Structure 1
Amino acid sequence: MKVRRLLAVLMATLLAGCGTASPAAPGTASAARSAPTGAYPVGVRTFTLDPTGARPLPVTVWYPAAPGGVARGRFPVVVFSHGLDSLPGLHAPLTTRWAAAGFVVAAPAYPHTRRGAARFSRADVRNQPADGWRLIRHLVLLGARRGDPFAGHLDTARFAAAGHSAGGFTTSGMLTSGHPPRLRAGIVIAGGGLAGAFAGPSAPVLFVHGDADPVVPVTVGRAAYARTPGPAAFLTVTAGDHGAYLTPGRPGFPEVLAATTDFLRWTLYGDPTTLHRLPPAAPSPHTTWLSRLPTP
């Protein structure tokens, strides 16, 4: 009964509202290595997964680019999930910077929670983790498909899931018992856990939450952090609301960008030097840090 009541509270909180240099040399994908240190130009590709199916999924992909296509090398992949009444493009200030740092970022527009959905349904969040896994399987196929622009450029053994608000709950829902080990990490921004989350192969999770969030209270994120059995960290944005800190120029954005990027570098590239930067060496008036990550 207590478990059911807790889940009901979490879902009710979630459904209340959401929304919104010079190129570095790429490395190989098979082993831990140094992450790129420069910035790539960023390319954009769009496609619709299962366009005639029951749940068509428009997808926006940002990727490290070079003249004529994708930059040389194989890049880890981040699946980014938007919040209620939102769209992938509204998160471009963050996702394009991840792509510039050496990640392919694939962002689906979910069929019943995206802005402009014909049949909007907040309750459909519970179906979105399966959509995320459907996208991962499709990207694995693209990475091996002769003639596809992404062929040979996706490190399909190294995925992370990330998301904001409802997308944060979607992310936690992808980290359930039985998930393939190719999902190496999660980033939950202004979200929390779904039933059965944070099980299966151990994957580090980074939580980002404003301590003045009026939509998903910070206590929901902290409860999810407490439930994670493996390495985890919690970045609190002081006086942060439901996501203004994801906007360049707003308090907390530089710290959130630095922490999430270094977390991805550590978990997906296996670059041990980036773990030394978690938390950032310089204290910030805009954020505080709680960690159960390994000691460098």
Structure 2
Amino acid sequence: MFRRPLRAALAAATATTIMAAGLAGCSAGSDRPAPGRRAGPPAGATPGATAPASPAPPGVAPSRRFAVGVRELSYNRGGDRRLPVTVWYPATGAPGGSPDRGARVAVGRFPVVLFSHGLTGRPSDYQALLTRWAAAGFVVVAPRYPHTSRGASELQVLDVVNQPADASFVLTRVLALNRAAGDPLRGRLAVDRVAAAGHSAGGVTTIGLFTVGRDERLDAGIVLAGTALGVGTGFTGTPAPQLFVHGERDDVVSYQAGRAAYDRVPWPKAMLTLPDGDHRGALLGDDERGLDVVADTTVEFLRWTLYGDDRALRRLPEQATRGGLASLDDRF
């Protein structure tokens, strides 16, 4: 849970800075093994060379593309904290096309990526990116937050401080489905291989999951156009590699703010910089070429950190810089 001083600090900072104004433009109990222990590799993974600093045991990520299924869940953390959740997952069938609602889950055990949307956003806004993660062999879990999403009865910017706890709550409930009799995800989740990711205010939420609201189940993080405003840069707990993505022409969350948070990460890290990137184009699909670079770079990062695939780590710089659209500060 979050400390009272944090709430006060966030309130003071947000009233006159990015969260109160800038972030308004964001977008249109588990069954995990005890700390220090790891379950075996996901189904289909084979031993490989040790990847530097990867949290996962050596393995090989799936090379095939999966069809993508989608389902909706609904949870409530209590009171007015209702949390609808969209889940995209690898499915049986031919890859490509739109996500198939209720499609059969593919055979295997798949790592989980917990995704947080930006202010006034919804999970569906990010379908172009998140379905690429699912097609690569990841189960993507995306809650819609009660007071910062589009359509909320009352937009409450300061409620971002509560979202790391919401995210952890959702993660606990979804991971429990791995043992839920009759659930389609039963036996399909690699519950010991989990990353968090988020855009803008969702990037704040993601950083919070590694600082004031540290969730030790998380092995890696992806911060898309995010900042540490309100959640701080006191990164703590087991080292977890971080990938930051930011456009230099972002006029909502400045590149300098994102870089400042990145610079404070004490763990293996990299920052993908798009010189012509704005706050949303390459992340929500408005910029197709930029989206390709972001999607392929983040997929390689997830393959490395969650499947333990060191080949993905070697491919990552090439994906990040192809076409000359971006540069990579690589500190992995």
Q: Same fold (TM over 0.5)?
A: yes
> In structure 2, what is the Cα distance between the partners aligned to 1:267 and 1:10?
37
Alignment of 1:1-296 (within 5 A): 8=13, 12-16=17-21, 17-20=24-27, 27=44, 31-50=57-76, 53-66=79-92, 69-176=104-211, 179-193=214-228, 194-246=231-283, 247=285, 249-280=287-318, 283-293=322-332
Deviations 1:181-218 (A, max 9, x none): 32000000000222254221110110000001000000
Q: What is the total number of aligned residue pairs between the two structures?
A: 285
SS of the residue 1:274 aligns to: helix
Deviates more, 1:222-231 or 1:52-61: 52-61
Specify the SS of the correspondent of 1:183. coil
Report the alpha carbon displacement of residue 250 of structure 1 after superposing the two structures with TM: 3.3
Say what the alpha-carbon RMSD is for the aligned residues: 2.4
Q: Which residue of 1 aligns with 2:52?
A: none
Higher relative contact order (CA 8 A, sep 6+): 2
Task: Tell whether the 8 Å contact from 1:178 to 1:201 is kept in structure 2 after alignment.
Answer: no
* 1:99 to partner: Cα distance: 0.1
Shift of 1:32: 3.0
Q: Is the 8 A contact 1:248 1:254 kept in 2?
A: no
**2:263 & 2:287 partners in 1: Cα distance?**
31
In structure 2, the CA distance between the partners of 1:51 and 1:161, relative to structure 1 (3 Å rule), is closer
Counterpart Cα distance in 1 of 2:222 and 2:15: 18
Q: Is the 8 A contact 2:297 2:316 kept in 1?
A: yes
Q: Distance in 1 between matches of 2:45 and 2:188?
A: 10
* 1:177 positional shift: 6.1
Q: 1:210-259 CA distances to partner (integer Å, 9 max, x unpaired)?
A: 00100000001110111000001000111211010121653422211111
Unaligned runs of 5+ in 2: 1-8, 28-41, 47-55, 94-102
1:178 and 1:238 mapped to 2: Cα distance?
32
Counterpart amino acid of residue 35 in structure 1: A
Percent identity for Structure 1 against Structure 2 = 47
SS in 2 for 1:85: coil
